[in-house]
Amino acid sequence: MSKTAISDNPYHHNGSDGSRLFFGRQDIFSWILEQTGDDLTTDQLLILHGPAKIGKTAVLKQIESGALHPPFVGIYLDFDQIDLDSVSTLYWEIANAGLTALARQNIELDTLNHTDFIADPAKAIQQQFLLPTEKLLQEKRPFAQNRQRRLLFLFDNTELLLEQINAGVLPADTLTTLHTHLTSETTARTLFALADDEPGSTASLPTMPDALFYRLPPLDEAETVALVRQPVPFTLVQDVAQYIYHVTAGHPHKTHQLCHALYEHQQQYDLSQITVADVATVHKFATKNGAGPLPTYDLQGSNAVKQAFRLAHEWEFTRNRSFYMLLAAIVLLAASILIYSSTGDSLVSQRIAGFLGAATPTPTAVPPTPEIQTDAEAVASLPESAATETPLPTDTPSPTPTETPTPTPSATPTSTATPTPDRYPDMIVREQDGMVMMLIPADTFIMGAAENDFIAAPDEKPRHEVRLSQFYMDKYEVNVEQYAAFLNRLGDYERACEGVDCAWHQELAGYTSYLIRQDLGDGTVQYYPLTGYANYPVNHVSWHGAKLYCESVGARLPTEAEWEYAARGTDDRIYPWGNIQPEPGGDLAVFQSESYENLMPVDALPNGASPFGILGMAGSLWEWTADWYKETWYEESNISNPIGPETGFARVIRGGAWPFNNRADRIRATNRSSLSPDFISSAVGFRCVRGT
Whole-number Å distance between alpha carbons of 429 and 436: 4
Q: What count of residues does the chain have?
A: 692
DSSP string, 242-289: HHHHHHHTT-HHHHHHHHHHHHHHHHHHT-S-B-HHHHHHHHHHHSTT
Distances (CA, A) of 588 to 454, 591, 662: 23, 10, 14
d(CA 614, CA 436): 10
Q: Which residue stretches of 387-515 are H helix? A: 480-490, 506-509
Report the distance separating Cα 564 and Cα 258, nearest Å: 40
Strand ranges in 547-661 using DSSP code E only, listed in sequence order: 622-628, 651-654
Asked if 463 and 446 count as a contact pair (C-beta separation under 8 A), the reply is: yes
pLDDT in tens, 33-48: 988 876 665 678 899 9
Which of 40, 44, 66 lies closest to 149, judged by CA? Answer: 66
Close Cβ partners of 684 (under 8 Å, ≥ 6 residues apart):
539, 540, 541, 621, 622, 623, 624, 653, 657, 675
Each residue's pLDDT tens digit, 87-139: 999 999 999 999 988 887 778 888 899 999 999 999 999 999 999 998 888 77
CA atoms within 13 A on the CB side of 40: 11
The span from the first CA to the last CA of the chain, in angstroms, equals 47
Residues 6+ apart with CB under 8 A from 478: 433, 435, 537, 538, 546, 549, 685, 686, 687, 688
Q: How many CB atoms lie within 10 A of CB 677?
A: 23
Spatial neighbors of 258 by CB under 8 A, at least 6 apart, are: 244, 247, 248, 279, 282, 283, 286
Name beta bridge partners: 437.
Answer: 428, 474
> 537: closest CA among 526, 529, 525, 527?
529
pLDDT of residue 387: 36
Q: How does strand 72-78 pair with strand 150-156?
A: parallel
Distances in Å between the Cα of 26 and the Cα atoms of 15, 187, 225, 677, 685 are 22, 23, 16, 13, 21
Q: Which stretches of the chain score pLDDT less than 70? A: 1-7, 13-21, 38-42, 140-147, 197-209, 231-238, 272, 284-422
Alpha carbon 82 to chain centroid, angstroms = 33
Element (H, E) at 443: strand 443-447
Pairing of strands 46-50, 189-195: parallel
User: Strand 443-447 relative to strand 464-468: parallel, antiparallel, unpaired?
Assistant: antiparallel
Q: Where are the alpha helices (DSSP H) in 363-440?
A: 375-380
pLDDT of residue 379: 40
pLDDT at 459: 94
pLDDT of residue 233: 56
Strand, coil or helix: what is 354? helix
Contact assessment for residue 566 and residue 516, using Cβ atoms and an 8 Å cutoff: no
Q: What is the pLDDT of residue 41?
A: 57
Distance CA 51, CA 194 (A): 9
Q: Residue 638 to residues 568, 635, 672: CA-CA distances in angstroms?
A: 20, 9, 18
The helix or strand, by DSSP H or E, that contains position 47, with its residue range, turns out to be: strand 46-50
Q: Classify residue 118 as exposed, middle or buried by CB count within 10 Å of its CB (0-12, 13-18, 19+).
A: middle
Neighbouring-strand partners of residue 49? 194, 215
Query: Quick one: DSSP state of residue 689?
Result: E
pLDDT digits (tens, 9 = 90+) for 336-378: 545 444 444 433 333 333 333 333 333 434 344 434 444 544 4
* Residue 692, number of CB atoms within 10 A of its CB: 14
Rounded Cα distance between 677 and 688, Å, is: 16
Question: Among candidates 181, 92, 187, 90, which has minimal Cα distance to 138?
Answer: 187
Which amino acid type is present at position 17?
D
Q: Do 646 and 661 meet the contact criterion of CB atoms below 8 Å apart?
A: no
What pLDDT does residue 141 have?
59
Q: Are 130 and 187 in contact (CB under 8 A)?
A: no
| Residue 343: count of CB within 10 angstroms of its CB | 7
Cα–Cα dist 487/504, whole Å: 11
Compute the radius of gyration of the chain from its Cα atoms: 28
- Our measurement of the distance from residue 686's CA atom to the centroid of its chain's CA atoms, rounded to an integer in Å, reads 13
Task: State the pLDDT at residue 223.
Answer: 85
- Phi, psi of 645, rounded to the nearest 5 degrees: -60, 155
pLDDT in tens, 380-437: 443 333 333 333 334 434 434 444 444 444 444 444 444 445 689 999 999 999 999 9
Helical H segments across 381-478, by residue range: none
